[in-house]
Amino acid sequence: MGLNKKAIMFTFLSVMIATLFSFMFSGSKITPFNEQTQTTKMQIKTLNTFTKDFETYVERSLEISSYAAVQGMIEYMHIKKINGMEPYYDSVEEIQADFLECMNESTINSGSPCPFMKEKNFTNIINPVINLSYEEFNIDTSYQIWDFGMSQEKDPFGLNVWVNISYSIKHKYAEWNISKKIIESKISIIGLKDPLYLINGTYNNTFKKTNINRWNTTTTGEFLDSYSYRVFTGTSFGRNGFSFLERFINPIRTGYYISAAGNLRIESFIHPDNLSSSEQRIDTAYVDFIFWNNINKTGDCCVNGVKCDIFNINELDPDFVLDSNEHLTLEPFNLSLSDWTDNGLC
C-alpha cells in the first residue's frame, strides 16, 4: 500500500511540473518584442528552477524504484528456495550487485526477471517527465547513470539509497551540465517481508516497528501479539541479533556479520499460534534469529559453555519460551523470575 501511495504522489508531481511550466512559458507567447530580454531572463530562471525540480524528481524516482528493487530481491530469495537453490547472500557486495542490476535492468542474478520491477526500474520512472518537458516545452534533458547503492547507517527500520548521475538540461536560452552528482534518499523497510521468515520460517512476517518502550509481562505479551519488531543490540544464546540487511545473509549460517550493524539489529518473537504442535519447542528461545536457525539449549548452547536458561512466561501463552540471560532478567525487560517457570537449566 505504501508503494502505491508513492506512485500516486509522483504521478501528481509530474502533472504539477507540467502545469507549472505551462504557466511560466505561456507568457512568452504574448510578450512584446521590446520585452524579449526580460522574457529571456525569466525563462532562464525557470530553467534553473526546472534543474532543481529535476533533482527532486530523481530523488523521488530513486525511492520508488529502490523500494521495488528490495522487495523484488526478497521475493527472488524465496523463488531460489522453492527451486532448491541457496537463497541467502554471502556478502554485502553480492547484495549490492543484485540491487544495481534490479535498478538498472529490472533483472537479477545476471539476467533473471527481478520480481516487482516490471516498469519500475529507475529509467522507467524518470523518463516520462523528461519526455514531457521536451514534447511540451522543448527542454532537452539527458542523463547517464554511473552507479546505484544502498546501505543501512542509522535507522534500524530504514535504508539509505543513492544514485551517481550526470545530466544535461538544454534549451535555446541556456544549458546546464552536471557531472557525477550523488543524489541520496531514504526508504522504509516497513511493510516488506522478513527474509528470515520467508526462507527459514513456516509463516511470513512483515516489518512493523513497535511503539512499546517500557517492558513488563503485559507489554511483552502485547509485543508478541503485534508481530512487530524492536531494536535489540544484545545476544541470545550467545548470538548477535540481525539487522535488516543481515537477514539477507543469515550470519548464523556463515558467521559473516556486517561490522557496522551493531546498533541496527532488530528482533521479533515467534508466535506459538502460528506453529503446529510438532513445530513448537521447549528447548529454544522464541526469538526469530534463534528459533528459525534451530539453535537450542541442548545442541548449541550448554555444550559450548554459554549459559542459556529457558523459561516460560506464566501469564502469557504457555508455549512461549525465552532465554533468561538477555530477555528476562536484563534490561530493557523489567521482569522478575517469579513471572517465569524454569524450563530447564544448563
pLDDT of residue 52: 80
* C-beta pairs of 21-25 under 8 Å, 24+ apart in sequence: 21/46, 21/50, 21/133, 21/136, 21/137, 21/139, 22/136, 25/137
pLDDT of residue 185: 96
pTM above 0.85, yes or no: no
Q: Regarding predicted confidence, which is higher, 137 or 21?
A: 137
Tell me the one-letter amino acid at 34. N
- Alpha-carbon distance of 56 to 51, in angstroms, equals 9
Q: Regarding predicted confidence, which is higher, 114 or 304?
A: 114
Residue 22 has pLDDT above 90, yes or no: no
**Local structure of 46: helix, strand or coil:** helix
Strand partners, 159: 187
Convert the pLDDT of each residue in 266-314 to its tens digit: 999 999 999 988 888 877 888 999 999 988 766 555 444 445 556 666 5
Residue 190 has pLDDT above 60, yes or no: yes
Q: Regarding predicted confidence, which is higher, 50 or 90?
A: 90
Residue 119: pLDDT band (50, 70, 90) is confident
pLDDT of residue 254: 87
Task: Give me the phi and psi of 146, to 5 degrees please.
Answer: -100, -35
Residue 144 has pLDDT above 80, yes or no: yes
pLDDT of residue 227: 96
- The DSSP annotation for 131-190 comes to HHHHHHH--EEEEEEEEEEEE-SS-TTEEEEEEEEEEEEEETTEEEEEEEEEEEEEEE-T
Convert the pLDDT of each residue in 213-261 to its tens digit: 887 778 888 999 999 999 988 777 778 889 999 999 999 998 889 877 7
Q: Regarding predicted confidence, which is higher, 295 or 23?
A: 295
Cell numbers given for 37: 530580454
